[in-house]
Structure 1
Amino acid sequence: MLGTLRVPGYEDVLAAADRIAPYVRRTALLRSPTLDDLAGAPVWLKLENLQVTGSFKARGAFNALLNLPPSVRARGVVAYSTGNHGQAVAWAARTLDIPATIVMPADAPANKVDKARRHGAQVVQYDRQRESRETIGMRLLAETGATLVPPGDHPDVLAAQGTLALEALRDLPPAALENLGLFATPCGGGGMAAGCALALQALAPHARLVAAEPAGYDDTVRSLASGQRVSNVPGATTLCDALMASIPAELPYAINGRRLDGAVAVTDDEVSAAVRFALEELRLVVEPGGAVALAALLAGHVSTQGKDAVVVLSGGNIDLPLLARIVATAS
């Protein structure tokens, strides 16, 4: 137990996989000869940018909502999100006929706000520099009697994020699984990395788990270095809107602080290069936050060490004007 939160285990990942299977996609692994040559080893890309709602967040959203008793579902759910978690909760709530309210920053990408609304959720926006999404969320809970579904500090959410690693490890050829040396994930609050750690510990304990973050929001990098959770400096900017957590979430860090083998930060220029690589070489649309692990590999911040690697592309929800600017800035 962590305060009032239960730290999930591998058995929770397995249960989540069965529970959410009718609602989410089993996303593919993709190989690229060009990427293999650049990395010096086979690289298997886990395509969560092709997940329903366009990101891995659908996994945690469905698992959390499916675990709610019918009487609790009727009172609705509240989620706070920079975009992808909110979309996922809105989609899952609509699918399961649950009222949903999503608290999103006023500067969240317009496409993510619009999609949450199109999925039937009420969207409450706030100024992230002056207001607290947690405070707004607590007020809404008090007013409605709804249930909070946070993006990281929720055992059902965290366990289900680990199902992407469970799928990837099960889908690898046996020789690649035996030779797996690196599993790299994007990292915001840390929920995906923590969930993946549970699957890796059970199925591939020999592989290194490395998290990638945007520069300026590298709180996990600095937290691992200090041995405790540390916050980001307010006012930082990044293209990676999906990864703008202010501090590692408490429950994920209880796992990541012990099981992450490393964390690295990437610049906006490196992220832009990865987004362009995905589009030009792989014919995939990947949002900046979804491309940070690929960026870390391409920029040399992480190495395959000559062994097979799994790299997660965690989301594809990019505003088209931003994608056009990234493509236009290619050198």
Structure 2
Amino acid sequence: MDDVDLNAIRAAADRLRGQAVRTPLLNAPTLDAAFNRRIYIKAECLQRTGSFKFRGAFNTLSQIDGDVVAYSSGNHAQGVAHAAQLLGKHAVIVMPSDAPAVKVANTRGYGAEVVLFDRATESREEIGAALVAERGLSLVRPYDDPRVIAGQGTCGLEMAEDLPEAVSEVLVCCGGGGLTAGVALALQGRATVHSVEPAGFDDVARSLSSGKRQVNPALTGSICDAILTPTAGEITLPIMARLCGAGIVVTDAEALRAVALAWQHLRIVLEPGGAVALAAALFHHKGDVAVVASGGNVDAQVFSEALRSL
């Protein structure tokens, strides 16, 4: 159950065929010219439910009998809710009460039952465990599950087919590490993967640098809500330590600027947490690079704030 490798990712790709969108690898000559390098953007904001999370959710739920429970600030919630809808399962989603309204509304729109909690005073893990015990549900973890990691890794398989040979570095938005670990597994030997996190929530970068697991001191306080996790997963961190390069950290202002530039040059909508890899490519990296734009489920107010920076 703890093993995930390239064969598992290929098996996930077979399960997802005809279900997940094969998202494009975009490039904007005007953006390249402005920053004097080629930047390729894997547009997972165009995936079903608006983020890469559908990949791991569908791969996992297709291997589970019965109904499920998951906890998430929004993107995993929507991925699990829609996968359950497609597979004829009931999903209960534990979400923080301060999650973006669009994510809560969409999760309910996919037919899921939403249970709200206060992330400052309550534990989503404890609530999820209680629902498993009381209702006989199967828990679908947001990142620390080999089936989830394998599903997210299918994004990397597609990039391996589409990336120009000259591109040897890939930047990935990182919370608990499911996407980063999956993409690193899929691209090993082809490109070096770097995690990207918001300032103050850079546990992965610090863990990779120190060689010891690091924990973020706060649970909230960044506009990048999609990737605010306390620490990396027990399964994901060793994969990242083995396969990834140094982590990169960006500010909230840089993430918002990347949201605006993605819209200006590519006409795609990103959320701040889904734009941190692009922000790293624009403001902290030199040379040609590819990034995963991991999600686009942004509230209108935040998106408007980003566009005001243009």
Q: Which TM-score band applies after superposition, normalised by the shorter structure?
A: over 0.9
Q: Residue 141 of structure 2 aligns to a residue in which SS?
A: coil
2:229 corresponds to? 245
Give the alignment partner of residue 109 of structure 1, picking from 92, 100, 105. 100
Counterpart amino acid of 1:318?
A: V
Match of 1:160 among 148, 151, 158: 151
Q: How does 1:45-56 map to 2 (within 5 A)?
A: 45-56=41-52
Q: Aligned pair 1:233/2:217, yes or no?
A: yes
The answer to whether the 8 A contact 1:189-1:245 is kept is: yes
Partner of 1:194: 181
Which residue in 2 is equivalent to 1:265? 249
Following superposition, the deviation at residue 309 of structure 1 comes to 2.1
Residue 159 of structure 1: CA displacement? 0.7
Instruction: Confirm whether residue 322 of structure 1 aligns to residue 302 of structure 2.
Output: yes
CA contact (8 A) 2:275 2:293 kept: yes
For the residues of structure 1 that align with 2:72 and 2:33, how far apart are their CA atoms? 37
Which one of 129, 132, 143 corresponds to residue 141 of structure 1?
132
For 1:61-85, what per-residue CA distance to the aligned partner results, in whole angstroms no more than 9, with x for missing partners? 00001112xxx22xx1000001000
TM-score, normalized by length of structure 2? 0.97
- Counterparts of 1:41 and 1:166, CA distance in 2: 24
C-alpha separation in 1, matches of 2:229 and 2:82: 22
Whole-angstrom CA distance in 2 between matches of 1:317 and 1:194 = 22
Could you report, residue by residue, the CA deviation over 1:217-252 in whole angstroms, capped at 9, with x for unpaired residues? 111011112212111012541110101101111111
3-state DSSP of counterpart to 1:258: helix
The correspondence for 2:193, drawn from 209, 212, 230, is 209
Unmatched segments (≥5 aa) in structure 2: none
Larger deviation, residues 250-259 vs 86-95: 250-259
Match of 1:93 in 2: 84
Segments of 5+ residues of structure 1 without an aligned counterpart are none
- The equivalent residue for 2:12 is 16
TM-score (norm 1): 0.91
In structure 1, what is the Cα distance between the partners aligned to 2:208 and 2:229? 16
Matched, 1:303 2:294: no
Cα pair distance change 1:79/1:236, threshold 3 Å: closer
Deviations 1:73-129 (A, max 9, x none): 2xx100000100000000000111101000000100011001111111100111111
Identity %: 47
Q: Which residue of 1 aligns with 2:31?
A: 35
Partners of 2:117 and 2:248 in 1: CA distance: 30
| Cα shift readout 1:23-62 (whole Å, capped 9, x = no counterpart) | 1100001111123234443322101000000000000000
Aligned residues: 310
Letter in 1 for 2:212: Q
Counterpart amino acid of 2:306? I
Shift of 1:279: 1.1
- Three-state SS of the structure 2 residue aligned to 1:211 is strand
Partners of 2:240 and 2:219 in 1: CA distance: 25
Check conservation: 1:39, 1:303, Cα contact below 8 A. Answer: no
| Structure 1 residue 180, shift from structure 2 partner | 2.1
What is the distance in 2 between the residues matched to 1:38 and 1:168?
A: 24
1:106 maps to a residue whose letter is: S
Question: In 1, are the aligned partners of 2:39 and 2:281 still within 8 Å (CA)?
Answer: no
Change (3 A) 1:327 1:39: closer
Within the alignment, does 1:284 sit opposite 2:264 as a pair? no
SS in 2 for 1:128: coil
Structure 2 letter corresponding to 1:322: V
CA distance in 2: counterparts of 1:212 and 1:39, whole angstroms: 19
